[in-house]
Structure 1
Amino acid sequence: MQSTELKAFVIDKVEDIKAKDVVVLDVREKSNITDYMVICTGTSNTHLRAIADNVVRAAKAAGVEPLGVEGRDSNEWVLVDLGDVVLHVMQDAVREQFQLEKLWSEV
Structure 2
Amino acid sequence: VTDHSGMWITAATGYQSSTCAMADAKNVTHGDNQGKWAWNTIGTKQYKRCNFHKECPVMLRAAQNTDKTWRQEVLDVSHAIERKDRRSQRTPFTFEQEAKIIDSV
State the TM-score, normalized to the length of structure 2.
0.29
User: Which structure would you say has the larger Rg?
Assistant: 2
State the TM-score, normalized to the length of structure 1.
0.29
